[in-house]
Structure 1
Amino acid sequence: MDIIGLVASELKIKKEQVEATVSLLDEGATIPFIARYRKEKTGSLDETYIRDISERVGYLRTLEARKEEVIRLIGDKLTPEIEANIKEATTLQAVEDIYLPFRPKRRTRATIAREKGLEPLANIILEQMEDPLNHVEEFLSEEVETIDDALGGARDIVAEIVSEDFKTREWMRRITRRSAELEVNVVEKKKNLPEAKTYQNYFEFKIPLKNVAPHQVLAINRGEKEEFLTVKITVDSNSLIQSLKALWLKTDAPHTEQLELALADCYTRLLAPAIERDLRREMTEGGDKQAISVFQENLRHLLLQSPVRGKVVLGLDPGYRTGTKVAVVGSLGDLLATDTIYPHQPQNRWDESKAKLIELIKEYKVDLITIGNGTASRETEALASEIAQETDVAFAIVSEAGASVYSASEIAKEEFPDLDVSLRGAISIARRIQDPLSELVKIDPKSIGVGQYQHDVNQKELSEALDYVVESAVNHVGVELNTASWSLLQYVSGINKTIAQRIVAYTRTEGPIFLSIGNNPLSYSFINATYILQK
């Protein structure tokens, strides 16, 4: 397979652009680095094109490797026709369909029938030229006592042969995908539970399979997982059985009765359940892909918010019983003061809390108040509004998603080892408006709250996608090597967590680092980092 040519054709770009990009990726260059500093080689391809090339080439290389492995596994049973089919396959699904008849499997009804010597009778049924009833008595034995047993066993073999035929499987999958409907119903005994109301849109839900939206797929999957919904794919079975017959019955063949019975059994018992699993998996993968794309877009916007630099910020992490946590952060993000106030129920120490905040504002010349948007946010906003009228200090509501995760993290412990974990969240809330990127990279991207169904999608793919967004954002903005935290430096192309921690340790003890690429051949990990850090 000409992978480079195929990708170039699919993306409608020049083959030389794909070839140059793949070469750079194989040498260790990262996507952000290539997009920004190797435009002359790629023909000015942007990150989207480069990432598409990376993903598609990766898939096609995996496909080629799987083809070779399947050819090896089939071994002596490999025929020129099967080998040609494998080599012509364009998807992993197609390769697995071809491999299916050769895959080691548990004992099936067909396996047992073969052990009883019924395969020649099955072949007669498949050929359709002779009446199986004229030969069936030849196959009777102690293990096959009756004619019905012999014919039933032979039909089991035929059903398995048909169900494992890769062309049949793909054709039936395609028809089902086009004509089936997704039917969802509520589990009646749970219908009136409060938790079930989340899924009330799907209590009696039916829609053509091809029209199901990605967010609906994820919602339905979650409802099914939590056992509030039942889900099935419905189709006109008779119509599909007729389609199957059209594939396998020979024109004017004199003896098709047993084959027709086998085909009906094949569809109902083997093909339909397998195709339903395949299509449900396809739907879930599509839903995951769309949801992850939304996660990526939202996270990128969040990370690249304009920073409010040079301001002293008072951060409030609202709460009721345990109080509202307070942190005053200097213009460079340094912690100046912390406190806890109790303006809300059950304590209701409103005036005392307001006075304490005004005192902190005056003492540290606070420019801005930030309020986390969680529990008691609106009540705390009312408090900030009163303070703003008396001090002329503005306030803003910020997302507090992930603040509690940061509070208990390794990074927070390192930054504030002697500070109570409950107060660290207020620091994060204050810093988020000063430098969103530098603060949010300290938190697992999945905990920042940038999309729905984050626990329902493929976790590996989600983590990889969000890590890429963080890396892209960091490399887009650039990093000041001698002042950045290791949590930010680790996302610079070519630098990992260990190297980032060593850089920070060095700058703290030895002083600033000055970078120079020079004329010597260097590894791409160093070149990637050097270009980004010098931005």
Structure 2
Amino acid sequence: MQKIIRQIAAEIRVQEHQVKTAVELLDGGATVPFIARYRKEVTGGLDDIQLRELEFRLGYLRELEERREAVLKNIAEQGKLTPELAAAIAAAPTKQELEDLYLPFKQKRRTKGQMAREAGIEPLANKLFADPSLVPADEALAFVKAEKMESGDDFTTVQAVLDGVRDILSERWAEDATLLQMLRQWLWSDGLLASKLVTGKDENNTDNSKFRDYFDYDEPIGRVPSHRALAVFRGRGLEILDAKLLLPEIPEPGKPSIAEGKIAIHLGWSHKGRASDDLLRKCVGWTWKVKLSLSIERDLFSRLREEAEKVAIKVFADNLRDLLLAAPAGPRVVMGLDPGIRTGVKVAVVDATGKLVETSTVFPHEPRKDWDGSLHTLAKLCEKHGVNLVAIGNGTASRETDKLAADLIKGMAKVEQVIEKVVVSEAGASVYSASEFASQEMPDVDVSLRGAASIARRLQDPLAELVKIDPKSIGVGQYQHDVNQSDLMRSLDTVVEDCVNSVGVDLNTASVPLLARVSGLSNTVAKAVVRWRDANGAFASRADLLKVSGLGAKTFEQSAGFLRLRSQAAGSNPLDMTGVHPETYPVVEKIMAHTGKPVAELMGRADMLKTLKPELFANEQFGVITVKDIIAELEKPGRDPRPDFKVARFNDGVEDIKDLKEGMTLEGTVSNVAAFGAFIDIGVHQDGLVHVSQLSNKFVTDAREVVKTGDIVKVRVTEVDVARKRIALTMKLDAAPARRDAPRDNRFEGVRPGQNPNRGGNYGGGQNRAPQPAASTAMESAFSKLAGLKK
């Protein structure tokens, strides 16, 4: 265990004692949010990001140690464990390197090499490799069998014996862990991922044409971006693309490849025209072509997929975090509109607490076209319930419904009722509508109307509403169906948990799904909390939690700090509405005694609290770091880390892509972010793309360095393609628009992704580098990913 602690400490660059304490807390049942927030003292201030990495690496390294013990035991039972091998196994840093060392000792089906060894040919193989001056045919005569062996193996000819020599040597070399690692590393640096359209497939077929960028594509495998790797693997999985690993140089016919040359160098052998050299060359070639080329391609493809999936999962997780921590509109009366054409627009009004108060369905679009009647119905609802915010789902007929809302707002302005409108992502709303929880929340409401209520609540509190939905259904991922689903789910679950606990939860209003994401609370305990609340009324204090069946002292410790009583009952402790943990209330009592002020007068008094010296209130249990956190919480009690709510102002008269003109400056909302750019909702039913090169005047490698989902940004239109529904935008508002008559830089004309225009054709020399495509080419490629992102 000490070895694991030492390794993790080195990897995340912290002290060993910090890792040791964190591991002890995790093993003791503490959650990451609890440790990050309330155990800073003992971990030396490890944050949630460091703790998540520590938790992941701890699991991996423990699995590695278990496998290491099993491998050592198995080899020892075979009687083949040498001190050198044991030391190598003990030092193996990864599961793959451990398996490389174990490969020669694994139980496997009977191979040709094994057959040759059983026939006693191994001494000949050793002899010829040790002394290539020997004549193979002459030496093989002594090993020729008079008849077939009982197993049926036939070594009755010189050629069969020499084939046995080839099988023995090639198998031995293919199981050389050092050689395997060297070849993998070389090909990861210099090999090419190449793809082409499967022979016989129609490139103009709609499904096939989505992969047009990869019909004749190659790029250094170690530099392939995540989205391109996953696109190639998706195309291969659909049997549209052939994908291969190519050597960095194609050898002349009859000449050994670079890979064979590297194997020979590793073995310390070279062809010097000796009697056995031709045979040994065949053995080396056989080792590469038959034994290693396909297995290494498989290994590197697995590595590429794994690394691409990590990036894709991170993109999804980052976008989900941004969405969950988006600015809440707060306690406002909201009308949710779930757009539809034939089936009508579903309407739901929720009050300031999120309670559904009325529903309706209007038919402003085809086939009824009851525009005026729909406006009349909506206006009556707005007037009756005091609606001041309209949430419009972004699905089918969203823009038409957005225009309906605009007319509604104009009409209500005449009676001095101010209403704002926001287009909201409705991803996952249908999943929620049909869920068991939705039927419990709104048992007498039609499934189709529940979606409109969910859309309305998403504006009030995105976090509280979206936790009711499977994170994978929220639709902010890149190639989310192509990645490892268990890894994706684990990553998304941690994001939801971290977001919920960073904001905190109102104990008296939170739903079961929201409570279940609180540190220490399981779904079962969350249900028990709600049952107690329904039976006994609102919680008067955090201490009442201990009255809940199944909620013991350990669960209380883990959860209490994240559960808040935002509506204070008479006589209750004001600290219960803050992020101060109940275990530290005695520290606050010391501060009260020192200042002579009750806690209610301390809260929010930054001027007074800033004069306090934390050292005066620290003790053995709670040190200076914890006291500083308590004082910071008292300065802004119950503070919400989320930004203030703002609404993007769409330009009047710009409601369709046809209304756009190059040079227009617009305001929009970031709807999705990928490494290559950001998609912006500018109110025309089709998101525009700000390519990563157009996000800032400084160099940007990842779009999330500049923007995140939900941000409101200003953009300028640089290109509009109405036919293909593509909008190119820039956030570099101070840059002069490109002149149409300017000389074109055609260096990248016709360049495929990853192809170097300085070297005509495929990779075969020159700089080993995939160039950055020209903006137009990159834009074209980026737009082709939109379908994958939106799924």
TM-score of Structure 1 vs Structure 2, range by shorter chain: over 0.9
Alignment counterpart, residue 408 of structure 1, candidates 411, 434, 445: 434
Q: CA deviation at 1:435?
A: 0.8
Give me the whole-angstrom Cα distance separating, in 2, the residues matched to 1:125 and 1:324: 83
Q: Does 1:173 align with 2:174?
A: no
**8 A Cα contact 1:186 1:230, kept in partner:** yes
Q: CA deviation at 1:10?
A: 2.2
Q: Does 1:17 align with 2:18?
A: yes
Deviations 1:117-159 (A, max 9, x none): 3333222234335443332112212221211111012211111
Q: Does 1:516 align with 2:543?
A: yes
**8 A Cα contact 2:545 2:556, kept in partner:** no
Give me the whole-angstrom Cα distance separating, in 2, the residues matched to 1:162 and 1:204: 34
Q: CA deviation at 1:97?
A: 0.5
Bigger Cα displacement from structure 2, 396-405 vs 208-217: 208-217
Q: Does 1:359 align with 2:359?
A: no
Give me the whole-angstrom Cα distance separating, in 2, the residues matched to 1:428 and 1:348: 26
**8 A Cα contact 1:406 1:442, kept in partner:** yes
Residues 480-499 of structure 1: matches in 2 within 5 Å?
480-499=506-525
SS in structure 1 of the partner of residue 239 of structure 2: coil
Q: Does 1:441 align with 2:471?
A: no
Q: Does 1:192 align with 2:208?
A: no
**8 A Cα contact 1:28 1:525, kept in partner:** no
**8 A Cα contact 1:86 1:95, kept in partner:** yes
Alignment counterpart, residue 353 of structure 2, candidates 332, 338, 341: 332
Equivalent residue number for residue 532 of structure 1: 562
Q: Does 1:274 align with 2:295?
A: yes
**8 A Cα contact 2:195 2:243, kept in partner:** yes
Equivalent residue number for residue 77 of structure 1: 80
Q: Percent of pairs identical after alignment?
A: 45
**8 A Cα contact 1:313 1:328, kept in partner:** yes
Q: Does 1:432 align with 2:458?
A: yes
**Equivalent position amino acid for 1:527 in 2:** E
Alignment counterpart, residue 144 of structure 2, candidates 140, 143, 149: 140
**8 A Cα contact 1:369 1:395, kept in partner:** yes
**8 A Cα contact 1:113 1:157, kept in partner:** yes
Give me the whole-angstrom Cα distance separating, in 1, the residues matched to 2:553 and 2:26: 13
Bigger Cα displacement from structure 2, 296-305 vs 108-117: 108-117
Bigger Cα displacement from structure 2, 484-493 vs 351-360: 351-360
- Cα distance 1:315–1:252, how it changes in 2: closer, same or farther (>3 A)? closer
**8 A Cα contact 1:128 1:256, kept in partner:** no
Equivalent residue number for residue 209 of structure 1: 221
Q: CA deviation at 1:433?
A: 0.2
Q: What is the total number of aligned residue pairs between the two structures?
A: 533
Alignment counterpart, residue 224 of structure 1, candidates 224, 227, 236: 236
Q: Does 1:121 align with 2:124?
A: yes
SS in structure 1 of the partner of residue 244 of structure 2: strand
Alignment counterpart, residue 242 of structure 1, candidates 238, 261, 273: 261
TM-score relative to the length of structure 2: 0.65
Equivalent residue number for residue 420 of structure 1: 446
Deviations 1:206-232 (A, max 9, x none): 111122111111111111111221111
Q: CA deviation at 1:296?
A: 1.1
Higher helix share: 1
Deviations 1:281-336 (A, max 9, x none): 00001111011111111111111112112211110110111111111111101111
**8 A Cα contact 1:27 1:524, kept in partner:** no
SS in structure 2 of the partner of residue 498 of structure 1: helix
Equivalent residue number for residue 6 of structure 2: 5
Deviations 1:172-213 (A, max 9, x none): 111111111111112252311012222111121111112211
Equivalent residue number for residue 62 of structure 2: 61
- Cα distance 1:517–1:427, how it changes in 2: closer, same or farther (>3 A)? closer
Give me the whole-angstrom Cα distance separating, in 2, the residues matched to 1:77 and 1:346: 80
Equivalent residue number for residue 451 of structure 1: 477
SS in structure 2 of the partner of residue 419 of structure 1: coil
Deviations 1:33-78 (A, max 9, x none): 1111111111112111111211222222221111101111222222
CA-based RMSD of the aligned residues comes to 1.9
Q: CA deviation at 1:511?
A: 2.4
SS in structure 1 of the partner of residue 86 of structure 2: helix
Give me the whole-angstrom Cα distance separating, in 2, the residues matched to 1:52 and 1:101: 33
Equivalent residue number for residue 295 of structure 1: 316
Q: Does 1:88 align with 2:100?
A: no
Give me the whole-angstrom Cα distance separating, in 2, the residues matched to 1:180 and 1:348: 60
SS in structure 2 of the partner of residue 77 of structure 1: coil
Give me the whole-angstrom Cα distance separating, in 2, the residues matched to 1:523 and 1:121: 72
**8 A Cα contact 1:341 1:353, kept in partner:** yes
Deviations 1:251-276 (A, max 9, x none): 79964432221111010011111110
Q: Does 1:315 align with 2:327?
A: no
Structure 1 unpaired stretches of 5+: none
Equivalent residue number for residue 377 of structure 1: 398
**Equivalent position amino acid for 1:29 in 2:** A
Moved over 4 A (4+): 250-255
Q: CA deviation at 1:396?
A: 0.8
Give me the whole-angstrom Cα distance separating, in 1, the residues matched to 2:138 and 2:184: 36
Deviations 1:488-522 (A, max 9, x none): 00000101111101110111012234333999xx7
SS in structure 2 of the partner of residue 352 of structure 1: helix
**8 A Cα contact 2:72 2:86, kept in partner:** yes
Give me the whole-angstrom Cα distance separating, in 2, the residues matched to 1:418 and 1:322: 20
Give me the whole-angstrom Cα distance separating, in 1, the residues matched to 2:461 and 2:312: 27
Deviations 1:398-435 (A, max 9, x none): 11010011011121111112221111111100000001
Give me the whole-angstrom Cα distance separating, in 1, the residues matched to 2:6 and 2:379: 67
Residues 394-405 of structure 1: matches in 2 within 5 Å?
394-405=420-431
Give me the whole-angstrom Cα distance separating, in 2, the residues matched to 1:252 and 1:265: 15
Structure 2 unpaired stretches of 5+: 148-153, 252-256, 414-418, 547-551, 565-578, 580-791
Give me the whole-angstrom Cα distance separating, in 2, the residues matched to 1:512 and 1:127: 85
**8 A Cα contact 1:190 1:228, kept in partner:** no
**8 A Cα contact 1:128 1:259, kept in partner:** no
**Equivalent position amino acid for 1:89 in 2:** A
**Equivalent position amino acid for 2:226 in 1:** P
Give me the whole-angstrom Cα distance separating, in 1, the residues matched to 2:544 and 2:22: 22
Give me the whole-angstrom Cα distance separating, in 2, the residues matched to 1:528 and 1:40: 16
Q: Does 1:29 align with 2:30?
A: yes
**Equivalent position amino acid for 2:138 in 1:** N
